[in-house]
A and B are shown apart, each in its own frame.
Chain A
Amino acid sequence: MFGEKAYILIKELDRSRDSLPPYNTELIGEIGNEIKQLIAQNQEDAQVTEDSHAAESVSYIPTVKIRHAAIKRNVRCILAYHYNRIKCLKTMRWQFGSILPPDVKANLSASEIEWFSQYSNSLVHYMRSIGEDGINLAVDLKPPKSLYIEVRCLVDYGQFELNDGSVLLLKRNSRHYLPRNECEELIRRGVLEHVV
């Protein structure tokens, strides 16, 4: 059936919403082959239709139309696949910064890695151009409501030093009231939890 492999490709991406599955080069290759095959078949049939004259006018137009629809479907699926992966990479850049964790990197294709580094570069270039020496926009993805927040510690972390030198002891289930910028890092790592 035409378009089945494309369906499998999309299903695979849909199954793992939070993380990127490995770039499925072979399936893409197979779909590419299918497209080429369909195009070749279409060209043949179109030629035949052209060549046939009034006497035995044979029209393969409907077949050609079906194959064309299948080709368009496959192309659309491939485009969607690539676009969604890139979107995922974009959110990861904002979350993790310009260095990707190695397990994510292993799942990317070469062109995706190249795209990522170029995107990182443009982002850094832009962030440096605003303000005097640039603002890191990736720090607060949501606008902060207050300078200080109340947090609860989820694991036994031990000593933690604040910017002004004072040292805290972070024990499991202890609650603290700290400046937001100091806690952001630990919240992202899962050591602290923001209490509303």
Chain B
Amino acid sequence: MYVENLKNDFYEFLSGKRILLMVHYDIDSICACKILQNLLKYKEILYTLSVIRGIDDLKTAFQENCNDVKYFVLINCGGTINLVDLFEPEDDVIFFILDSHRPTHLDNIYSDGQVRLLWSPEEDSEVPEFNSVYREDSDEEDREEGVGEEEEDEIEGRAAKKRRLNEEAILKRRERRLWEERRFDIIAEYSQYTYHAKASAIAMFHLAWQLNKDDKELLWLSIVAITEQFLLGKIENAQYVLTTGELQAHSNRLKNRSNDSDISTSLKITYEKDLKLVLYRHWSVESSLKYSTYTACKMKLWSHRGSKKLYELLADMGLPLAQSQQAFESMDLQLRKEFHESLEKLSEKYNLDDLVFASFVLQYGYRNKYCASDMVYAMLAVLESSPKENPEECFNLALDCLSRGKKEVVNNAIERAKIITKTMFKTVQGAIDMKQIITAGNFIYYIIQEGSLDWYMFSNQHILLLLAQFILRAYVSMSRNRKAPDLPLIISAPKNLELGTCIILGIPPLRQSSPKNNLGRAFEEAAENINYESLSDFFDTSYFEIYTKDRTRFFDALTTLFDK
């Protein structure tokens, strides 16, 4: 069931009640959760927060709290699975879902009030009609009617009646079988592509706007969420541009001219053109150019020729080598100001066309200037890069990262993000030099071995996604295979050394500009073909989890599947 009027049917509905907030472990949900927490304070809605990493966590959290709480709000989790089957809740329990994963499960859409979706039906595309997916069971009734009629009948007409009833029954059964086959096809077609819709934080920001309780902090949170979706390739370029245009309108509206003039206390959000260089404001120019996915792949910076090209680029820009190896903030003021423009001017010559994209920069106080992508990388580093901390602590750290008082948290996170970027570059360099990216017919794959250095960094979802995109781009730029841009990439990394499991991710080919991903379906089919019980409990089906010892069998099954 869809809830269109968020203000009345969600916010006012929950006023004064106790709820359980189940928040998925990614940046968009953390931002959405923070905005929602801000709003819940006004209505004195008591909440408990629990962190969800997968379907198992969802189940545990529900079972622990189902006796005490009747209203559950799920952020970025649960939209794509059948909640009623999973939880078997009592009748007065209500679930509110705000999930950017698509396609939404049909049982959630057609639920009669127990599961409520907090977006409008237009955001779910190509939903099949109710009648083609659900139908009342009329078979029992026919059989009963048939029996009743028989008893009333006289004995002579019984044989004739029986024949007629049998024919009807056979026709009905045939029709039902056809309907079921059609239903199976419809559902398969509906759920084969997984993709993401607009960020949940933006929906929450709209609610705040309707309640007139929005301000620049909440706007910044939604900016970080949409930037995350863009940087991780979850949404298309066009959608990103549209949404940022909308957010820019909001930022203009929320600008407060009298307060903003005092720099030390005001919070300023400016809409600027930004470069696709990772963390360049907090790093040196040379490192940032060398380790960013975009520039590295366009200029092939892992090879010797590539590094010469890099120096050429720096020389063309008029940036002395010594300056470019220093931290960005300590470069000459003149060079720093001209950095953007000189890079833009040279972008055509070095084939760096899409280097510039529109983004937002946050400034508060005299020393704190962060652009949205900096925040995204910092939060990724906090959430995913340390092997020892448990998820709740990382979650709390990430929430601290977003609050502006804890600057050391953000700076530490940025340092870790730099290490992660460097490691990714080195991994890709190694993979290409040692030709470890293997083509298997209709797809390419790459396996991170357990013994390699820093394997633990890639055992989490989003960093693995960034690495996969880097590898795919690098491979396509190096390969002479004409089919390379059409091949999807499947990457595998060790997940849990004790249990011996590894995580597998599939991403669509480069030529396909939309991020719709049908590899989840491929994984499921391959697993069925080899009769494998999947361990996967991720919400995003393009991630899969299997035992490492079965990996070769699984890949063989995938190869046969793709060859068809």
Contacts and interface: CB of A to CB of B under 8 A. Distances in A.
Nearest to B44: A148
B442 interface: no
B44 A176 contact: no
Contacts of B405: 196
Given A166-B18, A167-B68, A169-B65, A175 B49 contact: yes
Contact of A178 (B46, B67, B395): B46
A166 B18 CA distance: 9
Interface string B41-52: 100111111100
B393 interface: yes
A174 B65 CA distance: 12
26 contacts: A146-B41, A148-B46, A150-B37, A152-B396, A166-B18, A167-B67, A167-B68, A169-B48, A169-B64, A171-B64, A172-B392, A173-B390, A173-B393, A173-B395, A174-B48, A174-B50, A174-B392, A175-B48, A175-B396, A176-B47, A176-B48, A176-B49, A177-B40, A177-B47, A178-B46, A196-B405
A147 interface: yes
Nearest to A149: B41
Interface in B29-57: 37, 40-41, 44-50
Given A148-B41, A168-B48, A178-B46, A173 B392 contact: yes
Interface of A: 146-148, 150, 152, 166-169, 171-179, 196
A174 to B, nearest CB: 6
SS class of chain B's interface: helix, strand, loop or mixed?
Answer: mixed
Contacts of A166: 18, 68-69
A173 B67 CA distance: 21
B41 to A, nearest CB: 7
A169 to B, nearest CB: 5
Given A148-B46, A173-B396, A177-B47, 4 more contacts: A166-B18, A169-B65, A176-B46, A177-B45
Contacts of B18: 166
A152 B396 CA distance: 9
Interface of B: 18, 37, 40-41, 44-50, 64-65, 67-69, 390, 392-393, 395-396, 405
Nearest to A175: B49
A121 to B, nearest CB: 39
B46 A177 contact: yes
A150 B67 CA distance: 22
B388 to A, nearest CB: 14
Contacts of B40: 177
Contacts of A196: 405
Given A152-B396, A166-B18, A177 B68 contact: no
A177 B41 contact: yes
A177 to B, nearest CB: 5
A171 B63 CA distance: 14
A139 B479 CA distance: 71
Nearest to B390: A173
A196 B403 CA distance: 10
Nearest to B33: A175
B354 to A, nearest CB: 40
Contacts of B41: 146, 148, 177
B545 to A, nearest CB: 24
Nearest to B393: A173
Nearest to B41: A148
A171 B390 CA distance: 13
B46 A147 contact: no
Nearest to A178: B46
A73 B393 CA distance: 54
A148 B41 CA distance: 8
Contacts of A152: 396
A84 B325 CA distance: 59
Contacts of B67: 167
Contacts of A146: 41
A4 to B, nearest CB: 46
Contacts of A176: 46-49
Contacts of B68: 166-169
A72 B395 CA distance: 60
Contacts of A148: 41, 44, 46
A166 B69 CA distance: 8
A64 to B, nearest CB: 61
Sorted from nearest, which 9 A-B pairs have the closest CB atoms? Answer: A173-B392, A175-B49, A167-B68, A176-B48, A177-B47, A169-B64, A177-B46, A166-B68, A166-B18
A174 B49 CA distance: 6
A173 B68 CA distance: 19
A92 to B, nearest CB: 32
